[in-house]
Structure 1
Amino acid sequence: MNYMKTAILLAAMTALFMGVGFLVGGQAGMLIALAVACAMNFWSYWGSDKAVLNMYGAEEVDQNSAPDLYQMTWDMAQRAGMPMPRLFIIHEDQPNAFATGRNPENAAVAVNTGLLNTLTREEVAGVVAHELAHIKNRDTLIMTITATLAGALSMLANFAAFSGGNNQNRNGFGVIGTIAMMILAPLAASIVQMAISRSREYEADKMGAEICGNPIWLASALAKIAGAHDRTVNNTAEHNPQTAHMFIINPLSGERMDNLFSTHPDTGNRIAALQQIAQAWGMAGQVGHGQSQPAPWGSNARRGGPWG
């Protein structure tokens, strides 16, 4: 199913590229856009994960530089029956995390230092389990490709707006078409992102709870991350909004301003769903209760590492 989604996504993005290319340069521009789209699709499959990690300045860690975090991730990867992903730390105060990679054999999990400084060990385990679920479900390929192509499509649409279309299209229809494409192309890409992200977050929450063994750990993590969201701004995410759907919670400061176009389901609904799972499993516990101290790597993370 996810392979089919990927194929549909690539086809839709390619069509949008060709449409904008036609507005910029007519039939020749459409053919050039097709060639660029094919090259972008190929690059997105093989290299977009590295591009996103580089964009956020992610630093790879291992069992020597982050033994506790690495061991926790390794244990849960074994529990999930999947390979150990590469593990990265992002020096960012906002508590958040994401996963990327084209398949479980070539995947990575990246967590912000703000997450390690704020959450308990159990809550961090819940977040990592959620990201492992995305990898196991092979959501990361389509999410990473979406982020790459959505950004490229927005830039191409802006170029079309500034160029005003080719001479053949400089009539009433051409001007209107250019303006419409400038607005609709990024909007269409955003709709694809929203549909993919919203539909997969609940499933990743459910599987993440199974991987870590306690739905309340993830529910409590989501509550803390959402609570800290308004107090910390992720500047890199603000400048690259096309990557917002990759995170466990929308990192953008304007999330509440536009719930209709949010890349993520309502956090309260996600927490409620996890609490229902906990009740079905016969587990007691309330979100926000339990351990109040951050995980052991918290003090080291504040100093810049290591997180062990």
Structure 2
Amino acid sequence: MNYVRTGLLLAGLTALFGVVGMMIGGQQGMIIALLFAAAMNVFAYWNADAMLLRMRGARQVDDRTAPELVSIVRELAQNAGLPMPRVYVVENPQPNAFATGRNPENAAVAATTGLLQLLDRSEIAGVMAHELAHVRNRDTLTMTITATIAGAISALANFAMFAGIFGGHRNDNNNPLGGLGMILVAILAPLGAMLVQMAISRTREYEADKIGAEICGHPMWLASALGKLDKGVRTIPNMDAERNPAMAHMYIANPLSGKGVDSLFSTHPDMGNRIAKLHAMAKQPVGYQTGDAPMNPAKPPRSSGPRRMRRRPWN
């Protein structure tokens, strides 16, 4: 994982937040903005997982209500050396999945009903291994903080736009750029925040694919799943994500329609590139191991071969 790059991007996002505050209210505005960001991050640290799951209408399942799915997650968690996360199912026809939680001890993984219907057992294991990789790397906390700061920058930018339009062209200590400068800040600051947020997300998706392949021991399980998910998200809209796109980067596949072709503005890496990297991993000797916690490849989840979850495991 390129932690240095992620750290620098987060530092840049925080600095951008402070700069916007300074442009609106000078040094005092910068201090207030940074204090506001700190308060939001503290709140997000303790409450983001419950908020996200509630927003998506996720329902927790267990060995009784979804025995196969829970069994897969339990086996993979043991293989990764992680505590057993809470497992959720989201009633949504788009095939997708995400993970959340401030640390491995308070983690949760969620799969949509569309994913459980589309993928076979080994592919589901590949997807869940990817999500557990996010948990292990503490990506969910990083991405929550990123989204929180980016959202706060957008809120400040809206205030700057209002001040620039109705504040005239005054140029005093609290408004060093004047009205025109404030409008420019309102336009450029959210764009910069969005680019940083997306760059962090893309970096972490590649690493989660790699660690996920190591956790399940079969890169082709995840590669096959990603190929199906790519087609699924293109044809089946996710209206929950469309209404609230701030958390789109949490999903394994971009849930938003109209994603465009410019990778600079994408929250996820190109799916073809992700699959190609997994194919390259599959050509290496079996027994991929992470540096700080070696693990043995997972055996296929209690099955003689890939098969679909024909019964509805979330009922």
Q: Same fold (TM over 0.5)?
A: yes
Q: Distance in 2 between matches of 1:168 and 1:31?
A: 24
Show the counterpart of 1:97.
97
Q: CA deviation at 1:64?
A: 2.1
Partner of 1:179: 183
Structure ranking higher in helix proportion? 1
Q: Give the residue type in structure 2 aligned to 1:74.
A: R
Aligned to 1:85: 85
Asked if 2 retains the 8 angstrom alpha-carbon contact of 1:26 and 1:166, the reply is: no
Closer, same or farther: CA 3–269 of 1 in aligned 2, 3 Å = closer
CA contact (8 A) 1:20 1:30 kept: yes
Say whether the 8 Å CA contact 2:248–2:255 is kept in structure 1: yes
| Deviation sequence 1:15-73 (CA, Å, 0-9, x none) | 43343334445555444323311211211222222222222122222222211111110
Aligned mates of 2:107, 2:6 — CA distance in 1: 17
**Would you say the 8 A contact 2:164–2:181 is kept in 1?**
no
Instruction: Tell me the equivalent position of 1:17.
Output: 17
- Asked if the contact 1:5–1:142 (Cα under 8 Å) also holds between the matched residues in 2, the reply is no
Aligned partner of 1:252 among 249, 256, 270:
256
Aligned to 1:265: 269
Q: Which amino acid aligns with 1:91?
A: E
Aligned to 1:153: 153
**Secondary structure of 2:93's match?**
coil
Contact 2:169/2:180 (<8 A) preserved:
no
Question: TM-score normalised to the size of structure 1?
Answer: 0.85
Q: How does 1:1-308 map to 2 (within 5 A)?
A: 11-26=11-26, 28-164=28-164, 167=167, 170=170, 173-281=177-285, 294-297=308-311, 300=312, 305-306=314-315
Distance 1:146 1:174 in 2: 29
Q: Is residue 14–residue 149 contact of structure 2 (8 Å, CA) maintained in 1?
A: no
Percent identical across equivalent pairs?
57
CA distance in 2, matches of 1:248, 1:151: 21
User: What CA distance in whole angstroms lies between the structure 2 residues aligned with 1:26 and 1:253?
Assistant: 39
Check the 8 A contact 2:234/2:257 in 1, yes or no.
Answer: yes
Q: 1:184 is matched by which residue type in structure 2?
A: L
Stretches of 4+ aligned residues off by more than 3 angstroms: 1-32, 165-173, 291-294
Question: Over residues 64-123 of structure 1, what are the superposed CA-to-partner deviations in whole Å (9 max), with x where a residue is unaligned?
Answer: 221111111001100111111111111211111111112111111111111111111111
CA contact (8 A) 1:13 1:149 kept: yes
* Unaligned 5+ runs, structure 1: 284-290
* CA-based RMSD: 2.8
The alignment's TM-score, normalised by the length of structure 2, stands at 0.83
How far is the alpha carbon of 1:276 from its aligned partner?
Answer: 1.4
SS at match of 2:257: coil
Cα pair 1:101 1:144 within 8 Å, conserved: no
Give the distance between the partners of 2:53 and 2:5, measured in 1 at CA.
23
Mapped partners of 2:307, 2:32: distance in 1: 56
User: What amino acid maps onto 1:160 in structure 2?
Assistant: A
Alignment partners' CA distance in 1, 2:7 and 2:102: 14
| Residue range with higher mean Cα deviation, 58-67 or 81-90 | 58-67
1:217 deviates by 0.9
**Quick one: which amino acid aligns to residue 267 of structure 2?**
T
Structure 1 range deviating more: 74-83 or 248-257: 248-257
CA 1:163 to 1:65, structure 2 compared with 1: closer, same or farther past 3 Å? farther
Kept in 2: contact 1:19–1:30 (CA 8 A): yes
* Higher mean C-alpha deviation, range 134-143 or range 69-78: 134-143
Partner residue in 2 for 1:286: none
SS at match of 1:60: strand
**CA deviation string 1:132-179 (max 9, x = no partner):** 011112222101221233223223312321332785963594223222
* Shift in Å, 1:11: 4.7
2:17, 2:149 within 8 Å by CA — same for their partners in 1?
A: no
Runs of 5+ unmatched residues, structure 2: 288-304
